[in-house]
Amino acid sequence: MSTSPSGSAERATETAFAILAAISFCHLLNDMMQSLLPAIYPILKESYGLTFGQIGFITFTFQVTASLLQPVIGNFTDRRPLPYSLAAGMAFSFFGLLLLSRANSFALLLVAASLVGTGSAVLHPESSRVARMAAGRQPGLAQSLFQMGGNLGSSIGPLFAASVVLRYGQTSVAWFALAAVLGMVLLVRVGRWYVEHGMLRMRAAGRHDAGHELLPRGRVVAAMSVLVALVFSKFVYTASITSYYTFYLIERFGLSVRAAQVHLFIYLASVALGTLLGGSIGDRFGRKFVIWASILGVLPFTLVLPYANLFWTGVLTVPIGLILASAFPAIVVYGQELVPFKVGTVAGLFFGLAFGLGGIGAALVGQLADVHGVEFVFKLCSWLPAIGLFAAFLPRVRPRNQSVGPLVGQKT
């Protein structure tokens, strides 16, 4: 029986949860693998006598590699889709982990970090595109599910490092390259779905986005600049936590490496939950509300954190991760709705900025920590969420031909 155009269009607006689950799981595998890098920093620091500055430069190399490539890849695939590029990107992570397990010099550690960063550079904009294809009428939820996979992967990475890598050493990192093989298998299947169904869904998403009133170019540039400032505040602060939280706990409270990794897991798990909530709330109440509330709302907690005892430090990191993480899915979808038909470019821009700004932040924080100590940089970075005040300048745009209606990013 033939399928009617109206029936195909109706299915194109349904949420493809199986595909979202696949890319979310592959995002989990990818970010679990890349999170092994900061998780084994204490091992690398001791084995090779690295300074905090060198630790920060490893993070800088990984994140800036991803930062520079992601917008380029996103822009290229907006013009020429490459459905099977996701599996190829996972292969870079595979080789990066193998090299990381055998690297015996600072230079080889940097090469391994750049390979893992290249894998992330391919995965993030293209997976975000697939999430948009599979989203139907719930782009915020789809983006959250995709990003939640990555956050869960980042949270379990330190646990694997504590239970496996700390016990068996640097060479055991190679075992996790098997996760990249599994990811490649799944992403080949996602690529097949992309070819068969994805383009129809992309056109349906484009028609939905085109229903929003297009802002003048100057206002779009101004709005994107505000979003960049918010990404800066979020990811530089996040870099200070993910790269140096274990050192902070060890230095201030005398925790063991294993105990500090458990505290890092608690923080990263709250980040995963916050990511899921942010997209769903954005679909219901609007992206701007989520962006405003999450980035600025976390400020009281970050200001108190550097002065808390061990118990309250663990407690405070939960709302910090929960509230701060809810912003990013809303930022990505808001940007995609500001610039219709440039899904890959916008995703590559913001994921690239996230990696690049996080990498620069990690390097600067590392240099400051070498001079002033880790506690000092935690106090300094606690003010970064105040940049969330700039969210007040994000525009309110209504659908075309309506004097009253949902705002940009709101559910219609």
Residue 323 maps to a domain: yes
pLDDT at position 213: 53
Size of the chain in residues = 412
pLDDT at position 187: 93
Q: Which residue did the predictor score with more confidence, 318 or 264?
A: 318
CATH of residue 234's domain is 1.20.1250.20
Q: In sequence order, what are the residues at sequence separation of 6 or more whose Cβ sits closer than 8 angstroms to the Cβ of residue 406?
A: 286, 398, 399, 412
pLDDT at position 12: 54
pLDDT, the chain, mean? 79
Residue 43 has pLDDT above 60, yes or no: yes
pLDDT at position 376: 87
Structural domain of residue 53, as residue ranges? 15-393
Summarize pLDDT for 233-284 with one digit per residue, the tens. 888 888 778 778 888 898 889 888 888 888 888 887 888 788 878 777 777 7
Number of domains in the chain: 1
List b or e across 236-249, with b for residues whose CB sees 16 or more CB atoms inside 10 angstroms. Answer: bbbbbbbbbbbbbb
Nearest Cα neighbor of 129 from 19, 9, 287 is 19
Q: Which residues pair with 399 in a beta bridge?
A: 212
Nearest Cα neighbor of 75 from 330, 355, 343 is 343
Average pLDDT over residues 332-358: 76
Residue 403 maps to a domain: no
Average pLDDT over residues 121-127: 84
pLDDT at position 11: 55
Top-confidence range, 1-5, 190-194, 201-205, 354-358:
190-194
Angle at 227 between CA 222 and CA 229, to 5 degrees: 95
Residue 398 has pLDDT above 70, yes or no: no
Query: Given its phi and psi angles, is residue 136 left (phi above 0), alpha (psi -120 to 50 degrees) or beta?
Result: left
pLDDT at position 319: 92
Residue 2 maps to a domain: no
Angle at 303 between CA 302 and CA 308, to 5 degrees: 85
Residue 259 maps to a domain: yes
pLDDT at position 384: 86
**Confidence grade of residue 390 (pLDDT, cut at 50, 70, 90):** confident
Average pLDDT over residues 221-225: 85
Residue 410 has pLDDT above 50, yes or no: no
Residue 9 has pLDDT above 60, yes or no: no
Residue 398 maps to a domain: no
**Confidence grade of residue 2 (pLDDT, cut at 50, 70, 90):** very low
Residue 4 has pLDDT above 60, yes or no: no
Say if CB 389 and CB 291 are below 8 A apart.
no
Q: Which residue did the predictor score with more confidence, 359 or 233?
A: 233
Residue 342 maps to a domain: yes
pLDDT at position 316: 92
Q: Which residue did the predictor score with more confidence, 44 or 197?
A: 44
Average pLDDT over residues 142-166: 80
The secondary structure of residue 169, as a DSSP letter, is: -
For residue 397, count CB atoms less than 10 angstroms from its CB and return exposed for 0-12, middle for 13-18, buried for 19 or more. buried
Residue 166 has pLDDT above 80, yes or no: no
Nearest Cα neighbor of 37 from 122, 91, 115, 124 is 115
Distance CA 33, CA 27 (A): 10
For residue 314, count CB atoms less than 10 angstroms from its CB and return exposed for 0-12, middle for 13-18, buried for 19 or more. middle
Least confident segment among 85-99, 132-146, 291-305:
132-146
Average pLDDT over residues 4-15: 54
Residue 5 has pLDDT above 60, yes or no: no
Residue 272 maps to a domain: yes
Residue 101 maps to a domain: yes
Nearest Cα neighbor of 240 from 290, 144, 305, 170 is 305
Least confident segment among 148-157, 196-205, 324-333, 366-375:
196-205
Distance CA 268, CA 3 (A): 45
Residue 199 has pLDDT above 70, yes or no: no
Least confident segment among 285-294, 342-351, 392-401:
392-401
Distance CA 32, CA 359 (A): 18
Q: Which residue did the predictor score with more confidence, 104 or 320?
A: 320
Distance CA 162, CA 167 (A): 7
Residue 212 has pLDDT above 70, yes or no: no
For residue 392 the two structure tokens come to 């007040």
Residue 186 has pLDDT above 80, yes or no: yes
